[in-house]
């Protein structure tokens, strides 16, 4: 059982669609203008949010985001045969770790201890600020 | 019991009808514009949304339902997951999905900081 964060295009960069909640939380970044800038913001994101599991950077052409329709945020579960076993609705509305938890619980090949440990870390305190409350709830209920 | 009947002139009735039709037309046209915008690349969508006055699109339109449909994507349950090989954020190497996915399920979490 493995978790992977795919860092993609910023949802609310300051030069495109600034959110007041991000200003309050001091999460203000302009759209990265190069691969290097994107890597830099992604690094800050992973560090500040304390994401423990591996994180990768979508390339600047957004090919992986487009293949998965991942923007602004989304969760997938891929089974050990490489097939899609769970696909959340698009975020922010559809980003529901509870649904992932149910999907994981239904997978015979996933050991409970393994996914419970990982699910406790998922998006805590929030990969996407609008989902933070829900993420904290999941985090708290798993501990 | 006799009902109250408001007397309006035919001209006023026509004017009212025209106004209602115009409002419906504007509503539908704006809804179509919003729907098309939801299919645009993220940055383009974001630039349009940034200009929307207040929360009115969320109040006047079934925004969530439209968004969920517009961003459904092409992948369905049971489809092979598209492979990718991407650099780790800490630059310690690349991760290929098919390598990670050998003999174990993988959860992919797409997102950004803002």
The residue-averaged pLDDT of A67-74 equals: 95
Pairing type for strands A2-7 and A55-57 reads parallel
Of B87, B101, B107, the CB nearest to A82: B101
- Residue-wise pLDDT tens digits, A86-114: 999 998 999 988 899 888 888 876 665 56
B52 touches chain A (CB under 8 A): no
Q: Tell me if A57 and B88 make a contact (CB, 8 A cut-off).
A: yes
Q: Is B38 within a domain?
A: yes
In this model, does residue A2 exceed pLDDT 80? yes
- Measured between beta carbons, which residues in chain A are less than 8 angstroms from residue B74? 69
**Nearest-CA distance B62 → chain A (Å):** 12
* Confidence (pLDDT) at A84: 95
What is d(CA B41, CA B31) in angstroms, rounded to the nearest whole number? 18
Question: Considering the entire predicted model, what is its pTM?
Answer: 0.80
Q: Is B39 within a domain?
A: yes
Of A10, A69, A75, the CB nearest to B109: A75
B46 touches chain A (CB under 8 A): yes
Q: Is B52 within a domain?
A: yes
Across chain A, what does the average pLDDT equal? 78
Residue of A nearest to B114 (CA): A12
**Nearest-CA distance B7 → chain A (Å):** 48
Closest to A88 measured CA to CA, from A49, A128, A142: A128
Closest to A92 measured CA to CA, from A43, A16, A21: A21
Residue A15 · residue A30 · CB < 8 Å:
yes
- State which residues of chain B have pLDDT below 50: none
Q: How far is CA A76 from CA A107, A130, B27, B50, in A?
A: 14, 19, 35, 28
Q: Is B61 within a domain?
A: yes
- Range of B64's domain? 10-79
- Residue-wise pLDDT tens digits, A14-66: 888 888 888 888 878 888 888 888 888 888 888 888 888 899 999 988 999 99
Q: Is B91 within a domain?
A: no
- Residue-wise pLDDT tens digits, B12-30: 889 999 999 999 999 999 9
Q: Which long-range contacts (CB under 8 A, 24 or more apart) does A25-34 make?
A: A25/A129, A27/A129, A27/B113, A27/B114, A28/B114, A29/B113, A29/B114, A31/B43, A34/A60
In this model, does residue A67 exceed pLDDT 70? yes
The number of angstroms, rounded, from the C-alpha of A93 to the middle of its chain's C-alpha atoms is: 13
Any idea what the Cα angle at residue A77 is, between residues B86 and A98, rounded to 5°?
125
Q: Is B51 within a domain?
A: yes
Q: Tell me if B43 and A63 make a contact (CB, 8 A cut-off).
A: no
Residue A59, exposed/middle/buried by CB under 10 A (0-12, 13-18, 19+)?
middle
* Confidence (pLDDT) at A105: 84
What is d(CA A62, CA A58) in angstroms, rounded to the nearest whole number? 6
Q: Is B95 within a domain?
A: no
Q: Is B40 within a domain?
A: yes
* Confidence (pLDDT) at B35: 95
**Nearest-CA distance A137 → chain B (Å):** 17
Query: What contacts B107, CB < 8 A, 6 or more positions away?
Result: A1, A2, A3, A4, A75, A76, A77, A78, A100, A104, A118, A122
Give B81's DSSP letter: P
Q: Tell me if A27 and B77 make a contact (CB, 8 A cut-off).
A: no
* Confidence (pLDDT) at A6: 95
In this model, does residue A11 exceed pLDDT 60? yes
In chain B, how many domains are there? 1
């Amino acid at each position: 059982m493995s978790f992977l964060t795919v860092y993609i295009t910023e949802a609310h960069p300051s030069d495109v669609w600034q959110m007041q909640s991000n200003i309050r939380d001091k999460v203000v970044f302009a759209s990265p203008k190069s691969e290097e800038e994107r890597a830099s913001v992604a690094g800050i994101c992973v560090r500040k949010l304390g994401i423990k599991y591996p994180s990768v950077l979508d390339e600047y052409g957004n090919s992986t985001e487009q293949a998965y329709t991942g923007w602004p945020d989304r969760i997938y579960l891929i089974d050990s045969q490489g097939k899609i076993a769970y696909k959340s609705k698009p975020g922010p509305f559809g980003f529901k770790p509870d649904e992932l938890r149910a999907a994981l619980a239904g997978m015979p090949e996933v050991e409970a201890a393994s996914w419970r440990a990982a699910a406790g870390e998922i998006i805590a305190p929030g990969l996407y600020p609008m989902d933070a409350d829900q993420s904290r709830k999941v985090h708290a209920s798993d501990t | 019991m006799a009902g109250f009947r408001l007397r309006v002139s035919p001209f006023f009735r026509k004017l009212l009808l025209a106004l209602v039709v115009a409002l419906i037309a504007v509503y539908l046209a704006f809804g179509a514009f919003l729907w098309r915008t939801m299919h645009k690349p993220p940055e383009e969508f974001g630039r349009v949304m940034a200009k929307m006055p207040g929360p009115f699109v969320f109040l006047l339109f079934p925004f969530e339902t439209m968004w969920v449909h517009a961003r459904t994507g092409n992948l369905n349950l049971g489809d092979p997951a598209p492979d990718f090989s991407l650099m780790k954020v800490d630059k310690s190497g690349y991760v290929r999905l098919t390598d990670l996915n050998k003999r174990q399920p993988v959860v992919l979490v797409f997102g950004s900081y803002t």
